[in-house]
Amino acid sequence: MPSAMRLLDVAPTSDVATAAGKESGGEAAMRLGERGALEPAHQDYFPFAALVGQDELRNALLIAAVDSTVGGVLIFGDRGTGKSTAVRALADLLPPIEVVEDCPYACAPRGMTQCPHCSSQPGGRARSVRVPMVDLPLGATEDRILGALDIERALVAGEKVFLPGLLARANRGFLYIDEVNLLEDHLVDLLIDVAASGVNVVERDGISVRHPARFVLVGSGNPEEGELRPQLLDRFGLCVEIETPTEVADRVEIIRRRDAYERDPKAFAEKWRKHSSEIAGTVVAARARLDQVVVPDAIIESCARLCAALGTDGLRGELTLVRAGRALASLQDHPSVGIAHIREVALASLRHRLRRGPLEETGSEARLRRVVAEHLGQ
C-alpha cells in the first residue's frame, strides 16, 4: 500500500514540476524557472518605501513579514486607498528564499517538512527565488486552489500525476485575497483548515497527497460590501482599517507619486531604491534578532488584563499582542518589548476580536481606544 505522502503511479518528479506549470500563471504571478521549478514572475511593483501615510497598514505588513506566526493581516478600507498596492509592494521588498531546485512546493533545502517531491528525491540542490506572492481570485475553483489530478496526463499517458494548486505555490510566501469578504463559503472552509494546520491534504481522483502549505494570509476588502465570516476573521492576526486621506497635502503627494510611477516605473523604482534597500535590511535584521527579544512577564500580564477588560474570546488576542509587540520591538532594534510597543499594535491586534452587544454595530473602535488608553496609557 503506498504511503499517503506519495503519489500513486507518479511520473518522474521533473514531469510533476512541469505539469504544475501548465496552468496560466497570471493569477498567481508565477512562472517556470529554467529547470522547471515554480518561482514568482518578475513584476515592477510600486515601491513600498514610496507609500504615503497609512502607517498602521505599513507597520502591520512589516510585522507579518518579520514574524509569520502573528497570523497575517486583514485590511478593510475604502476603494482606491492603496490596499492591494501596499501588499504587492511588500512582496517585492522581501529578500529571496532558498528552495529545493525543481520542487513545486518551494521546500527549504534543510527544512524539516518534506513534500512528496523532496521525500522521493532527497538531497536536491538549492536555489534562490523571490518570496511567492500568490493572488487567490474570487472565482477560483476548489481544484485550482487545492490542486488536482492532471487530466491531460491521465488521458494521454494513463498516469496519475498531481497538479499543484495555488496553496502549493503560496508555501513559504503570501496568499493574497482581494475582496476577501466576498469569498464563497466553501472556499473559506478550505482556507481555514489549511491555515490552521499548514498542510494541504488532497484525497480525490485516486490520488493521496499531503504537502506543506504555510503562508502569510493577507486579505483586503470594503466593509460596505459585506462582513467576513467569524471563522476566517479569527484566523487573521492583525486587522487594519484605512480611510481615504483627508489632508490635501497627502492627496497631492499620492497623485504625484502614482503619476510618476505610471509614466516610468523603472525610473521611479530607481529613485526609491536606496530607501527600499534600507527597509529590506531592517526586515532581515529584525528576523535575525527576533528570538533574542525579551517579553517581560509584566508585559504579558498587561496584555492579559487588557484582553480580559475587553472581553475578547479565547487567548488569541494575548498571543497576537505578544507576537506583534515582539516583532515591532525587533524592527525598532529594541532588546525587550515595552508598553509602547503593545500600545502601538493593540488596535490592529484586537479590533476584530471584540464581542458585540445586541445594540452595537460593526464599529466598537471608541470603546477599544478607551480601554487601551486606560490600561496602556495614551
C-alpha cell at 41: 514572475
Q: Quick one: pLDDT at residue 33?
A: 37
Q: Quick one: pLDDT at residue 30?
A: 36
How far is Cα 57 from Cα 40, in angstroms, rounded to an integer? 24
Q: Quick one: pLDDT at residue 114?
A: 64
Query: Could you read off the pLDDT of 286-318 as tens digits, one per residue?
Result: 999 999 999 999 999 999 999 999 988 888 999
Give the 3-state secondary structure percentages of the chain, helix then strand then coil, rounded to 5: 45, 15, 35
C-alpha cell at 242: 484605512
| Residue-range domains of the chain with CATH | 13-242 (3.40.50.300), 293-376 (1.10.8.80)
The average confidence (pLDDT) of the chain is 81
How far is Cα 324 from Cα 342, in angstroms, rounded to an integer? 8
Amino acid at 329: A
CA atoms within 13 A on the CB side of 170: 28
How far is Cα 39 from Cα 29, in angstroms, rounded to an integer? 9
> Which residues 6+ apart lie within 8 Å of 168 measured at CB?
20, 104, 105, 147, 200, 211, 213
Query: Could you read off the pLDDT of 53-102 as tens digits, one per residue?
Result: 888 999 999 999 999 999 899 999 888 888 888 998 888 788 888 888 88
Please give the C-alpha separations between residue 158 and each of 8, 14, 120, 149, 218, in angstroms, as whole numbers: 12, 17, 21, 11, 39
Please name the residue that has the C-alpha cell 502549505: 213
Q: Quick one: pLDDT at residue 24?
A: 35
In sequence order, what are the beta bridge partners of 199?
212
Which stretches in the chain have pLDDT values below 50?
1-43, 358-359, 362-363
Q: Is the dihedral of CA 361, 365, 370, 374 positive or negative?
A: positive
How far is Cα 287 from Cα 80, in angstroms, rounded to an integer? 31
How far is Cα 175 from Cα 72, in angstroms, rounded to an integer? 9
DSSP 3-state of 329: helix
Q: Tell me whether residue 214 is one of the annotated catalytic residues.
A: no
In sequence order, what are the beta bridge partners of 178?
220
How far is Cα 213 from Cα 358, in angstroms, rounded to an integer? 38
C-alpha cell at 126: 538549492
Instruction: Give the start-end residues of each E strand in 71-161.
Output: 73-77, 97-100, 126-129, 133-135, 147-149
Q: Quick one: pLDDT at residue 334?
A: 96
Q: Which listed residue (316, 326, 343, 351) is catalytic? A: 316
Q: Quick one: pLDDT at residue 234?
A: 81
Q: Quick one: pLDDT at residue 203?
A: 81
Helices 316-331 & 273-289, crossing angle to 10 degrees?
Answer: 120
Considering only CA atoms, give the Rg of the chain: 22
Question: What backbone phi and psi angles, to 5 degrees, belong to 211?
Answer: -145, 155
Q: Sheet containing 173-178: which strands, arranged edge to edge?
A: 133-135, 173-178, 215-221, 73-77, 238-242
Q: What per-residue string of b and e applies to 248-263 under the rule 16 or more CB within 10 Å gives b?
A: eeeeeebeebbeebee
DSSP 3-state of 3: coil
Please give the C-alpha separations between residue 35 and each of 32, 100, 128, 324, in angstroms, as whole numbers: 8, 11, 13, 38
How far is Cα 72 from Cα 87, in angstroms, rounded to an integer? 11
